[in-house]
Amino acid sequence: MTVKIPYYPGCTLKSTAKNFEDTARLVAGIFDYELDDLYRWNCCGAVYGLSEDNVMHKVAPVRNLLRVKEVGEKRVLTLCSMCFNTLKRANYYVRKNKDKLEVINAIMYLENTTYDGSVEVIHLLELLRDEIGFSRIKKAVKKPLEGITVAAYYGCLLLRPGEIAIDNMEQPTVMEDLMEALGAKVVDLNVKTECCGAYQTVARKDIVADRTNLIVEEAHKMGADVLITSCPLCHFNLDRRQKDAKERHPDFKPMPILYFTQLMALAFGFSEDKLGFDPHYVDPRPLLKERGLL
Amino acid sequence: MAEQQVLNKNEEQKPQAKMVTVFIMGQKYEVPEGSTILNAIEYAGYQLKKGLGCREGFCGACATVYRLPGDYKLRGGLACQTVVQEGMYLAQIPFTPAQKAIYDIEEVKPDISTFQKYYPEAFRCLGCNACSKVCPQELKVMDYIQAIMRGDIELAADLSFDCIMCGLCTMRCPAEMAQYNIALLARRLYGKYMMPKPEFLYKRIEEIEQGKFEDEFKEIMSLSPEELKKRYAERDINFKIT
């Protein structure tokens, strides 16, 4: 029987990272999960406000958690690392600061209910690891990803701060374990928890171009063919800024950047048109064809 | 003594309606109970040239903010639709000098980039919902801005459909955006590029232009009133639109 799991999409999953959402739905469907969009949702807050007494910036994430409670659910699934981080940290904050939760609830007086900290925020990677399990995933593989070497890039948002980490903060392995279950060869990327440059991409492309150059270069050195991520912002930076990286570093060699769900959907036998490769700046298709995966 | 009698006489002539006390821009007035704010303002002697329009709750010209005794909340309403209450403090907001982008609807694209270009401030929404709290139409203002922020123009057009552009949301917004003008762009884009086209209408217009109904009209026009009445009474009211 299909399990409907409340799903908070976030803005990029409905726009520039639609291919992440589409492939995540396919992947979840294989294990009888249906991503059930919240009937009403707003921006996650996009960057958690670090100032402890800046309550205003926590209203948006908490309001989304209230939406989950409002429909009688206990947990909410996220795909975007940024949404995951912002929602889970805001949840952690209001659980620790009941007085601030009271203020936030007072601001949200138009709502039919109040929030109490009861919702759990989970990431798809946690669902795959903890509830579905890698052994079930392995059994579902129709087209093992033999022939490609994958490097997993986590960035910061799934792992820091430690209170909300989905894995070991310094040595995460969830994405590597997942890729191994799909039959891919994995490398332990030395820069997998480093910064991609984040929002510097708006005003200081050069910084992000240099970060992209470093991360992709390290991945090449370790023998990787592709990089995977779960963060639309990391994806944008590592994919789109390869153009700028090439301009600043003539020796730069491109590398396809994929969402982990795209490789899962590929391994589960979905056809090329379902995998959402069109929006990629560095087209992964030539490589995947060369390795006999498309 | 004579003076007292005159006073009493005047008192007798006062209208019998029960009065309530309201404060219009801080000035105390006694106005008839059950008046709308608009009627109360006029009863108090103000002659309005701005801040009123249709008097029927449709035009959005008479935006008013008010507060009730014992309550800190600043509420919003249309002066022509909101009934005065005892102790009400009120002031009209006849005009909102809001940002309104100039664009050519033929040139803009029905996607998020248009809003990023013409109304970048929309993306500053914090989700505080102050806009929805003050909306006299009880719209989900914050929700339509949030829909725009993720490129869902159809949802934004739908949620903002009943907006009368009174401007109160804009006056309350900590992100300093003009929600109602942003929503207008969403509805224009939806209407021009996204709404399903009424194919049956185009078909019918073509038929009319080809003269398909000319003979029927001529026949109807030639009928006497009695015959017309008979036809009307006998008409098929369960006809199917083809």
pTM: 0.88
**Predicted confidence band of residue B5 (pLDDT cuts 50, 70, 90):** low
Identify whether the C-beta of residue A167 lies closer than 8 Å to the C-beta of residue A174: yes
Do B147 and B77 share a domain, yes or no? no
In a domain, B107, yes or no: no
* B8 and B86 co-located in one domain: yes
Number of CB atoms found within 10 A of residue A255's CB: 23
Q: Looking at the 3D structure of chain B, how many domains does it have?
A: 3
- Over residues B35-73, the pLDDT tens digits come to 999 999 999 999 999 999 999 999 999 999 999 999 999
Cα–Cα distance for residue pair B11/A284, rounded to 1 Å: 90
pLDDT higher than 90, residue B15? no
**Is residue A94 scored above 60 in pLDDT?**
yes
And the tokens for A89? 């940290």
**Residue B98 in domain:** no
Q: Which residues of A touch B150 (CB under 8 A)?
A: 9-11, 14-15, 43
In eight-state DSSP terms, residue A127 is: I
CB burial class (10 A; 0-12, 13-18, 19+) of residue B175? middle
Cβ contact B96:B167 at 8 Å: yes
Instruction: Give residues 160 to 189 of B whose Cβ lies within 8 Å of A.
Output: 174
Beta carbons within 8 Å of B197's beta carbon, 6+ residues apart: none
| List of long-range contacts for A20-24, beta carbons under 8 Å, 24+ apart | A20/A79, A20/A80, A20/A232, A20/A235, A20/A259, A20/A261, A20/A262, A20/A276, A21/A79, A22/A274, A22/A276, A23/A259, A23/A261, A23/A262, A23/A264, A23/A265, A23/A270, A23/A274, A23/A275, A23/A276, A24/A79, A24/A124, A24/A259, A24/A261
- What is the reported pLDDT for B1? 46
Containing structural domain, residue B44: 2-92
Q: Are residues B189 and B203 in the same domain?
A: no
**What tens digit of pLDDT does each residue of B139-161 get?**
999 999 999 999 999 999 999 99
- pLDDT band at residue A64 using 50, 70 and 90 as cut-offs: very high
pLDDT, tens digit, 9 for 90 and up, residues A159-184: 999 999 999 999 999 999 999 999 99
Judge if B204 and B189 occupy the same domain. no
Residues of B (119-138) whose Cβ lies below 8 Å from A? 125-129, 132-133
> Quick one: which of A234, A289, A242, A241 has its CA closest to A259?
A234
- Give pLDDT tens digits for A175-231: 999 999 999 999 999 999 999 999 999 999 999 999 999 999 999 999 999 999 999
Residue of B nearest to A49 (CA): B126
Q: Is residue B227 part of a domain?
A: yes
DSSP secondary structure, B36-94, as one string = BHHHHHHHTT---SSS-SSSSSSS-TTEEEEE-TT----EEEETTTPBP-TTEEEEE--
Cα–Cα distance measured from residue B197 to residue A174, given in angstroms and rounded to the nearest whole number: 49
Report chain A residues whose CB lies below 8 A from the CB of B128.
56, 59-60, 107
Contact yes or no for A59 and B126 at CB 8 A: yes
Chain B neighbors of A57, CB-CB under 8 A: 126
* B75 contacts chain A (CB < 8 A): no
Return the residue in A16, A110, A112, A115 with the most chain B beta carbons within 10 A, the one to mutate for interface testing.
Answer: A110
In a domain, B21, yes or no: yes
CATH of the domain at B26: 3.10.20.30
Q: Which CATH number fits domain A142-290: 3.40.50.850, 3.40.190.10, 3.30.9.10, 3.40.50.11810?
A: 3.40.50.11810
**Per-residue model confidence (pLDDT) at position B12:** 59
A107/B128 Cβ within 8 A: yes
Distance from CA of A141 to the nearest CA of B (A): 34
- The closest CB to that of A56, out of B126, B146, B149, belongs to B126
Contact B80, B38 (CB under 8 A): yes
Q: What is the ipTM of this complex?
A: 0.88
Q: Which helix (H) or strand (E) covers residue A114, if one does? A: none
Contact A41 B149 (CB under 8 A): no
Q: Between chain A and chain B, how many beta carbons pairs sit less than 8 Å apart?
A: 44
Q: Which of residues 11-50 of B touch A (CB under 8 A)?
A: none
> What is the architecture of the domain spanning A3-124?
Up-down Bundle (1.20)
CATH 1.20.1050.140 maps onto chain A at 3-124
Q: CB–CB of A60 and B150 under 8 A?
A: no
Last residue of a domain, one of B31, B62, B92: B92
Residue A24 pLDDT greater than 50, yes or no: yes
With CA atoms as reference, report the closest residue to B181 among B84, B115, B240: B115
3-state SS, residue B101 = coil
- How far is the alpha carbon of A125 from chain B, nearest alpha carbon, in Å? 24
B37 domain-assigned: yes
Reported as a single tens digit per residue, the pLDDT across A121-146 is 999 999 999 999 999 999 999 999 99
Determine, yes or no, domain membership for B118: yes
Residue B184 and residue B225 share a domain = no
CATH number for the domain spanning B124: value is 1.10.1060.10
Measured in angstroms, the CA of A223 and the nearest CA of chain B are apart by 37
Residue A191, CB half-sphere, CA atoms under 13 Å: how many? 19
Over residues A68-81, mean pLDDT = 97
Task: Check CB contact under 8 Å for A63 and B127.
Answer: yes
Q: Where does CATH 3.40.50.11810 sit in chain A? A: 142-290
Tokens of A275: 């995998």
* Same domain? B189 vs B219: no
Tell me: the pLDDT tens digits for A99-128? 999 999 999 999 999 999 999 999 999 999
- Return the bridge partners of B83, or none: B36
